[in-house]
Amino acid sequence: MPTIGIDAIALAVPEGYLDLADLAAARGVPAGKYVEGLGVSRMSVARQHEDPVALAATAARRVFATAGIDPSTIGLCVVGTETAVDHSKPVAAYLHRLLGLPQQCRVFEAKHACFGGTAGLLAALDWIAAGSARGKKALIVCTDIARYGLSTPGEPTQGAGAVALLVSENPRLLALEVGVTGSYAQDVNDFWRPLYSKEAVVDGHHSVQCYLDALAGAYKGWQDASTATGNTEKLARRCYHVPYGKMAKKAHRHVMQLEGASEAEADASYAAEVASSLRLPSQVGNIYTGSLYLALASLLEAEAGELEGKRIGLFSYGSGCCAEYFAGRVVKGAGAFADSLQLAEPLKDRRKYTFAEYEQIRLRDEEGDKRPVNGEAHELPEGAVAFVGVDADRRVYIA
Ligand code: CAA
C-alpha cells in the first residue's frame, strides 16, 4: 500500500493580536498567571472581516501556493469548525468557489467541538486508502474563532486562525499510520456553545479533567492497536490539542505517569518531546479545531529536518467529548520541504492591539453577521480573503 498522510500545511491568522500581559493588567491579575500559568503570550484577535470562512480560504490559498498544488486536483474538501457562519450552508461550500475547486468534488463541514478537523482528516485517510480518491487529493481546513465572555476565566484562552492540510498519497511531510488509532468518547458537559450564543460556555477545571480522561483512554486504545500490528517503536515527539500551552504540559505528564515515569522524568521528556510544538500556539492562542495542527506546524517548522524518519504521536480532543490518538512518521526530505513552506510567515508583522482596541473589536462583533455590505475598504495582504457583509442574507467575500 502506498504511504498516505499530510503532504503540506499552511496557516492563516488575523492581522492583529493582544498581548496577554496587557490583558492581565486590564483584568488586575499578575501577567505570570497567563504567560507562565497558562503558557500563552499572545492571542490572535479576529476583526469582522476575518471570519471563519475568510481565515479558512486564506489558509487554503496559501497551502496551494506554497506547496505548488493546483486546486483542480482536489476531490474531497472537509472543513472542521465549531464556529461556523450558518446553520445549514457549510464553510466548505464557500471555499468551493473562493478556491476554484472542481465540481467533481465532495465538500462538507464536520462539527464536534475541537475534534471536527481530525474527523475530516481521518475520513480523508480512509477515502484514499479505500481507493475512492482515484488519484485526487483531499483538502482539510480547520478554522475557528475562540470566544469566551469578557472577564471570564476562559478569556485568556481565546484565539483565532485556520490551518489547511493537503492529504495525499506519498506525502511530503508526515506519513500517517492509517487505521491504527485509539478512540475515546463520552457524554460530558465540559465545554459547549448554545445556539443563541457566540461565546462558549465552559466548566473550566472539569474540562481539564475530561481532556485528561479522554487522553488516557485514547492513548491506551492506540497503544493496543499499535502493538497488535507489531509496532512498538517509541515516539520521538508528541503533539497535543493545545487550548493553552500548560494543558499540553499537563497532558504529557499524565501520559508519562501512566507509563510509569516520575514527575521529574515526565517534565524532562516534556522539554525534549513537546516544547517545540508549543511555540506557535503560544503566539496565537486557542484555535479550537486547528490547535493540534498548529502544534504540528510548530514542530515541523522547528525540527522537521532532524525528525526525518522519526515517529510522532498526535492527540486530538473535542469537548463533549470525542478524542483520538494516532501516529505518523516524518518522511525523508520533509526538512527542506517544510522550510520551503515558510510555515510561520503569517505570524510575522502582525499588529499589536491595545486593550482598548480589543474591547472595541469585541463590541463591534455583536453586529457581525448582520452587517450590510458597505464598501468598507480593506487592505488585504497578498492572497487573503475578507468577509465584507451580507446582502439579502447572503454573505459576501472579496479576495
Ligand atoms: N504566576 C504563575 N502561575 C500562576 C500565577 C502566577 N502569578 N497565578 C496562577 N498561576 C497558575 C496556576 O497555578 C495554574 O497552574 P496549574 O494549572 O499548573 O495549577 C494556572 O496558572 C491557571 O490558574 P487557575 O487554574 O487558577 O486559572 P483559572 O481557574 O482562572 O482558569 C482555566 C484556568 C480553567 C483553564 C480557564 O482558563 C478556562 O476555563 N479555559 C477554557 C477551558 C479550557 O481551555 N479547557 C481545556 C480543556 S477542554 C479543551 O481542551 C477543549 C477546548 O479547546 C476548549
Please spell the DSSP secondary structure of 311-356, one letter per residue.
Answer: EEEEEEEETTTEEEEEEEEEPTTHHHHHHHHTTTGGGTTPEEEPHH
Residue 37's nearest CA partner among 197, 167, 208 is 208
Alpha helix segments (H runs only) across 130-277: 204-228, 245-258, 263-273
Summarize pLDDT for 193-227 with one digit per residue, the tens. 999 999 999 999 999 999 999 999 999 999 999 99
Side chain identity, residue 246: K
Query: How many domains does one find in the chain?
Result: 1
CA angle 161–166–167, rounded 5-degree value: 130
- What is the mean pLDDT of the segment spanning 235-244? 98
What is the widest separation between alpha-carbon atoms in the chain?
61
In the predicted structure, residue 373 carries a pLDDT above the cut 70: yes
Side chain identity, residue 338: A
CA 64, CA 61: separation in Å to the nearest integer?
Answer: 5
Test site for ligand 1: of 38, 142, 254, 317, most ligand atoms within 8 A of the Cβ? 38
- pTM across the whole model: 0.98
For the chain, percent helix, then strand, then coil, each to nearest 5? 40, 25, 35
Task: Give the list of residues 6+ apart from residue 80 with CB closer than 8 angstroms, or none.
Answer: 109, 110, 111, 115, 116, 117, 118, 119, 120, 140, 141, 142, 143, 289, 290
Instruction: Quote the domain boundaries for residue 176.
Output: 4-398
- What is the mean pLDDT of the segment spanning 235-240? 98
In the predicted structure, residue 377 carries a pLDDT above the cut 70: no
Catalytic residue among 49, 96, 241, 252: 241
Distance from residue 37's CA to the centre of ligand 1 (Å):
7
Q: At residue 163, what are phi and psi to the nearest 5 degrees? A: -130, 125
Summarize pLDDT for 96-143 with one digit per residue, the tens. 999 999 999 999 999 999 999 999 999 999 999 999 999 999 999 999
Residue 293's nearest CA partner among 281, 311, 285 is 281
Test site for ligand 1: of 20, 142, 157, most ligand atoms within 8 A of the Cβ? 157
Distance from residue 247's CA to the centre of ligand 1 (Å):
8
pLDDT for the residue 371: 79
Residue 381 DSSP class: P
Q: Percent of the chain scored above 90 by pLDDT?
A: 94
What is the pLDDT confidence band of residue 18, given thresholds at 50, 70 and 90?
A: very high
Distance from residue 156's CA to the centre of ligand 1 (Å):
9
Q: How many CB atoms lie within 10 A of CB 292?
A: 29
Residue 241's nearest CA partner among 275, 303, 290 is 290
Catalytic residue among 77, 105, 114, 321: 114
Summarize pLDDT for 142-192 with one digit per residue, the tens. 999 999 999 999 999 999 999 999 999 999 999 999 999 999 999 999 999
What is the pLDDT confidence band of residue 375, given thresholds at 50, 70 and 90?
A: low
CA 342, CA 171: separation in Å to the nearest integer?
Answer: 17
Q: Percent of the chain scored above 70 by pLDDT?
A: 98
What is the pLDDT confidence band of residue 351, given thresholds at 50, 70 and 90?
A: very high
**Cell triple for 42:** 499572545
Distance from residue 244's CA to the centre of ligand 1 (Å):
8
In the predicted structure, residue 37 carries a pLDDT above the cut 70: yes
pLDDT for the residue 382: 86
Catalytic residue among 82, 155, 273, 324: 82
Q: What is the CATH number of the domain that holds 226?
A: 3.40.47.10
Overall size of the chain counted in residues: 399
What is the pLDDT confidence band of residue 368, given thresholds at 50, 70 and 90?
A: low
Q: How many CB atoms lie within 10 A of CB 340?
A: 13
**379 carries an active-site annotation:** no
Give Cα 270 to chain centroid, integer Å.
21
**82 carries an active-site annotation:** yes
